[in-house]
Amino acid sequence: METEKFSYDNKIVKMFAYATLLWGIVGMTVGLLIALQLVFPVLNFNFAYTTFGRIRPLHTNAVIFAFVGNGIFMGVYYSLQRLLKARMWNDTLSRINFWGWQSIIVAAALTLVLGFTSGKEYAELEWPIDIAIALIWVVFGLNMFMTILKRRERHLYVAIWFYIATFVTVAVLHIVNSFEIPVSLFKSYSFYAGVQDALVQWWYGHNAVAFFLTTPYLGLMYYFIPKIANRPVYSYRLSIVHFWALIFLYIWAGPHHLLYTALPDWAQSLGTVFSIMLIAPSWGGMINGLLTLRGAWDRVRENPVLKFMVVAITCYGMSTFEGPMLSLKSVNAISHFTDWTIAHVHIGALGWNGLLTFGILYYLIPKMFNTKLYSEKLANTHFWLATLGIIFYALPMYWAGLTQFGMWRQFTPEGFLAYPNFLETVTQLKPLYALRSFGGALYLAGVFVMLYNVVKTVKAGNFVDNEAAEAPALSKEYTAHAGEGWHRWIERRPVQMLLFSLILISIGGLIEIVPTFLIKSNIPTIASVKPYTPLELQGRDIYIREGCNNCHSQMIRPFRFETERYGEYSKAGEYVYDHPFLWGSKRTGPDLHREGLKYPDSWHYNHMLDPESMSAGTIMPAYPWLHTSELDTASTPAKINAMRTIGVPYPDGYEKIANADLVYQEQLIIKNLEKDKIQALPNTEIIALIAYLQRLGTDIKADKEQAQK
Amino acid sequence: MNPIKNIIQKAALSASMLILSGNLMAAEAPQVPWRNLKFASETSTFWFLSGLALLLLIMIVVLASVLKSIVSNKDLWLKRGAGNKAASVILVALMTLPATSAFAQAASPEATPLIVMTEDIFWVLVAVNFVLLSLLFAILLLIKNLLKSLKAEEVAEVVPVEQDIWTGALNNAVPVEREGEIMMDHEYDGIRELDNNLPPWWIWGFYFTIAFAGVYLTYYHITGKGDLQIAEYEKAMEEGRLQKEAFLAKSGAKVDENSVVVFTDAAQLEKGKETFKTYCAACHGQAGEGGVGPNFADEYWIHGGGIKNIFKTVKYGVPAKGMIAWEAQLTPVQIQEVASYILTLKGTNPANPKEPQGDLWSEGGVPAAQPDSLAADSAKAPVAVNQ
């Protein structure tokens, strides 16, 4: 057969590699800043654009979608071409993929800081950016798929199965979770409300972990580990079993983020059992990674790249065992809302994604620049900084989680909460937060060491944009080998593989999500729960803009120690007008679901102006700009209309008189504040926020009073 | 004679023997005087589970005898030599298992007729079935592997390689030295693939988690035996209430708005002051001069003065006006202390006093007006706060 000559596009890989490095440093630096803010609140700088609530999403988005995202593209663009013996289908699409993704990142960074956010974790970006993401993702998928179709290799290697599953699932997750109704260019409301929104969001959130942070990286592992170690993959049949089991089971596990919430019990239980069943399929990847190194362990001792890989896979194994354990109800009661979750995700992010990315970079850069790594010694230094960084990060966070939970649930013999003041349970953690920041700083220092090493290597090397390669073209005819496994069939059929993956990953989502829309009993309605008033709605949008939900939950779980602290546990029917839901996932501050009428208006006014004045020692940042910024009442009619479109029963024509209602309610609050000698500026944002906070969780009280009469 | 044929014959023989004995046991069972079986479904569940256990047991014994005949066939093992040490260890261990399960059979419900079907028995039966099923699979796997190795031997002489227990028994892996035998014939960018077996501990772990899922869902959602979150919550609240009552009864700290008296003891007033600084000063001022909340140093009271009214106001709060019900955070004695301390503030003339609010109160006398206003408030308050 005739051999064809072609070349691999290395330049696109180099571009993604640089972007990975850049955004890694940005994302981790912001991470370090928010970690320090929890120890030294002064680092919020009394400045809207640098408060924790706005830059915490910046950190998570930068690390997940910018650092890991570029890492995925880097690894896929490198390995895909070689595994298929083909250049990327279209260089222009590759460039659009690159520049499109970088523009999205820049847009994300700007809008998040400016307070344009949908309020949904890991999906904060507003609708124009959501559309851009979908388009660029399709560009990536198209480029990848066309390359697959014109490949010179008959069968698809396991890494590519993972890439295909990643592409199709991320597309489905992103599109379904991003259903939202635009109000203006940078404001939208989630199409789903309350419990449904929560379910869709965590189906998305959990599987963003699964199909953005896990499956593409497993694909990368399957390519780079055998390449670097020069060893055959341990078990082909294990690859098959764990791949299919993993993608089928993963999608079901989302509800484990909502245990002990207002989500129906059956959905919670499905989340639990599917998480437990995930242990083995997840570990299949770990086994195949680690056992591929059989016979190469002597090299692991010397080769820093392999060291990164081994610790990365070990972290993967640890967090994929920990995750299912956290899905057990009794364990989840502890970890949910505490720093345990933070520790858990960082084992995954710093350990699995971070170290694997570093390992790949240390391998790829010298290889593509046709030189040797500038300094193995510095790479080793980086390895130890990173490993120690992870330990110093994770251990204090585990400790913090257990400590805080212990304090939350402690009762005195008299039957009172031992720590009724939530703040006590936070200030207790400050030393641990400081230690965690130290761990983060170590890890970041390691990245700078790598940056230096990479720069030096690049300078010494000689980069070839287009690496020459040759391979025979694929013949039309294929005769199967004797005794060939059944799975080989689908390995030569990428379209079928794509479709079959799509079907498999759709099952879990459909079974869990659809019933909450169709079956009324899943979300029992409460008669006294009414839509927000225009002023409250505006206040809620300020709450979302400032990212209050990053530290405050709105979900009181049915535990004695929560109802004693916050009031009656939260009911599904209370959230039916919440577009989006704001249950939160971490309590750095107390739950706010029953905050309404707990304190006078003046308390909130003062507290937002200077939190220290109302609760000494708090780490909450001040929000002084709310007291002077004018409330944007021009948006009220559009907001009312948008809400009505997605099912909130505002009467027809209400948008015309909404602002009159808004002013009326404003006056009530201003008068209330005057009684406490506070002269509030009329039509300021703080008034709207107070209105929203005072409404929180109060509807159900009206229902109780009704029942009493 | 072909050893495998021999084994199969023996297996058939022992199986028929067992089915016979199984029938005998089954024939005995219906005469058992079952009582308290109220529902047909319960009865049928019981029979289904018992029958399943019996069936599994029979299959296990049959398979065990097959195993036994494989192991006891000296010719086979002599030829095989000292090959797979780890496998023989597991084999010996498994050989003892059928014996144990025979004991288990004696103790299991179908052999002890005078037991009434209860929840416990249901779970015991489920557990027994689960263990039996696992055992069955384990034996099947073992037989499959043994037969495979025997067959392989007939084809080619195997070169014995020292296996360490980790790669061998634990992962069922082919040693690195012989990996050429399981190297797949494909290659991607220089990457080759081996075709090692799925590690037994992994596959068994997987089965276990699947079984766990079944049991979990059955327990919580089919039988309804497990407490779902609201039931769990209600139990915890009841438990908390009982603990609290027991403690208060024991410590004699039961004070309420009817029995409360003023503390005059300096130590107790000092405690009251501590409490005041911690919880009250934010709204009522460090010296009780008032702030968000009313002034305590004057003679005017919104909800009535005097120890009883103050105790009541602190205990139940006035939620409509932002005063918290403190009974969730302060003990009755603490409320008594802080109320007594508040009474000492009268006439202290602190700086920046808030203007008087409410009505003039004279001790021992009647409040000037609205004697029932507080009663109305406090009657409502616990409803709003405690629900």
Alpha-carbon distance of A301 to B383, in angstroms, equals: 68
Alpha-carbon distance of B73 to B50, in angstroms, equals: 35
On whether residue A642 sits in a domain, the answer given is yes
The residues, ordered by sequence, that sit 6+ positions from B44 with a Cβ below 8 Å of its Cβ are none
On whether residue B221 sits in a domain, the answer given is no
Give yes or no for residue A327 having a pLDDT over 90: yes
User: How many Cα atoms within 13 Å fall on the side-chain side of residue A19?
Assistant: 28
Same domain membership, residue A538 and residue A454? no
On whether residue A325 sits in a domain, the answer given is yes
DSSP string computed for B117-169: --HHHHHHHHHHHHHHHHHHHHHHHHHHHHHHHHHHHHHSPPPP----TIIII
Alpha-carbon distance of A326 to A332, in angstroms, equals: 5
Cβ neighbour number for residue A13 with a 10 Å cutoff: 24
End residue of a domain, out of B160, B184, B206 = B160
Read off the pLDDT band of A109 (50, 70, 90): very high
Give the mean pLDDT of A457-479.
92
Per-residue pLDDT of chain B (387 residues; tens, 9 = 90+): 455 555 555 555 555 554 544 444 444 444 333 334 444 456 667 778 888 888 888 888 888 887 777 776 656 555 544 445 445 555 555 555 544 444 444 444 444 444 456 667 778 888 888 888 888 888 888 888 777 777 665 555 444 455 555 555 678 888 888 888 899 888 999 999 999 999 999 999 999 999 999 999 999 999 888 999 999 999 999 999 998 888 877 776 678 888 888 888 888 899 999 999 988 988 888 888 888 889 898 888 998 888 989 999 998 888 777 788 888 778 888 898 999 999 998 888 888 888 888 888 876 655 444 444 444 444 333 333 333
Give the mean pLDDT of A516-545.
92
End residue of a domain, out of B160, B192, B226 = B160
Contact (CB<8Å) B189/A83: yes
Cβ neighbour number for residue A211 with a 10 Å cutoff: 27
User: Shortest CB distance from B195 goes to which of A236, A268, A274?
Assistant: A236
Give the mean pLDDT of A336-363.
97
Phi and psi, residue A9, nearest 5°: -80, 95
Same domain membership, residue A553 and residue A466? no
Contact (CB<8Å) A415/B329: no
Flag the least confident range among A27-31, A59-63, A660-664, B293-297: B293-297
On whether residue B131 sits in a domain, the answer given is yes
Give the mean pLDDT of A649-663.
96
Contact (CB<8Å) A280/B202: yes
The residues, ordered by sequence, that sit 6+ positions from B159 with a Cβ below 8 Å of its Cβ are none
pLDDT in tens, A410-430: 998 888 899 989 999 999 999
Same domain membership, residue A546 and residue A415? no
Same domain membership, residue B151 and residue B285? no
A contacts of B241 (beta carbons < 8 Å): 415
Contacts 24+ apart (CB under 8 A), B371-375: B371/B304, B373/B303, B374/B303, B374/B304, B374/B309, B374/B312, B374/B313
Nearest CA of chain A to the CA of B381: how many Å?
A: 11
pLDDT value of position B98: 47
End residue of a domain, out of B130, B160, B190 = B160
For chain B, give the number of residues.
387
Question: Structural domain tally of chain A?
Answer: 3
**B165/A contact by beta carbon, under 8 A:** no
Alpha-carbon distance of A572 to A194, in angstroms, equals: 7
Question: Structural domain tally of chain B?
Answer: 2
Give yes or no for residue A463 having a pLDDT over 90: yes
End residue of a domain, out of A470, A488, A518 = A470
Give the mean pLDDT of A116-126.
96
Cβ pair A625, A48 in contact under 8 A: yes
For chain A, give the number of residues.
709
Same domain membership, residue A456 and residue A602? no
User: What is the CATH number for B375?
Assistant: 1.10.760.10
The residues, ordered by sequence, that sit 6+ positions from A429 with a Cβ below 8 Å of its Cβ are A339, A400, A403, A404
The gap between the terminal CA atoms of chain B, to the nearest Å, is 82
Same domain membership, residue B129 and residue B277? no
Same domain membership, residue A575 and residue A433? no
The residues, ordered by sequence, that sit 6+ positions from B94 with a Cβ below 8 Å of its Cβ are B64, B67, B138, B139, B142
pLDDT value of position B154: 55
Same domain membership, residue A440 and residue A317? yes
List the one residue out of A673, A685, A700 whose CA is nearest residue A593. Answer: A700
Same domain membership, residue A450 and residue A574? no
Q: Which residues pair with B192 in a beta bridge?
A: B187
Same domain membership, residue A546 and residue A425? no
Flag the least confident range among A240-244, A679-683, B282-286: B282-286
User: What is the CATH number for A573?
Assistant: 1.10.760.10
Nearest CA of chain B to the CA of A189: how many Å?
A: 31
Same domain membership, residue B156 and residue B13? yes
Flag the least confident range among A319-328, A353-362, B104-113, B280-289: B104-113
Task: State the residue range of the domain holding A564.
Answer: 534-708
Nearest CA of chain B to the CA of A379: how many Å?
A: 25
Nearest CA in chain A to B239: A560
Q: Which residue has the tokens 């039957």?
A: A415
Q: State the average pLDDT for chain A.
A: 95
Same domain membership, residue B273 and residue B151? no
Q: Which residues pair with A470 in a beta bridge?
A: A5
On whether residue B203 sits in a domain, the answer given is no
pLDDT value of position A547: 97
Contact (CB<8Å) B319/A597: yes
As for the ipTM of the complex, it is 0.93
On whether residue B179 sits in a domain, the answer given is no
Same domain membership, residue A422 and residue A328? yes
**B381/A contact by beta carbon, under 8 A:** no
Alpha-carbon distance of A212 to A133, in angstroms, equals: 14
On whether residue B196 sits in a domain, the answer given is no
Give the mean pLDDT of A311-340.
97
pTM attached to this predicted model: 0.80
On whether residue A276 sits in a domain, the answer given is no
Task: State the residue range of the domain holding B363.
Answer: 266-386
pLDDT value of position B77: 55
On whether residue A456 sits in a domain, the answer given is yes
End residue of a domain, out of A420, A435, A470 = A470
End residue of a domain, out of A154, A184, A206 = A154
Cβ pair A277, B209 in contact under 8 A: yes
B contacts of A283 (beta carbons < 8 Å): 202, 205
User: Shortest CB distance from A273 goes to which of B213, B321, B385?
Assistant: B213
Nearest CA of chain B to the CA of A286: how many Å?
A: 11
pLDDT value of position B39: 40
Same domain membership, residue A427 and residue A346? yes
Cβ pair A238, A287 in contact under 8 A: yes
On whether residue B190 sits in a domain, the answer given is no
Flag the least confident range among A618-632, A669-683, B171-185: B171-185
Same domain membership, residue A449 and residue A569? no
B contacts of A704 (beta carbons < 8 Å): 383-384, 387
pLDDT value of position B356: 86
Same domain membership, residue A344 and residue A451? yes
Contact (CB<8Å) B216/A415: no
On whether residue A241 sits in a domain, the answer given is no
Residues 36-65 of B with CB under 8 A from A: none
Cβ pair A387, A337 in contact under 8 A: no
Same domain membership, residue B294 and residue B150? no
On whether residue B192 sits in a domain, the answer given is no
Residues 191-250 of B with CB under 8 A from A: 191-199, 202-203, 205-206, 209-210, 212-213, 216-217, 220-221, 228-230, 232-233, 236-237, 240-241, 243-244, 247-248
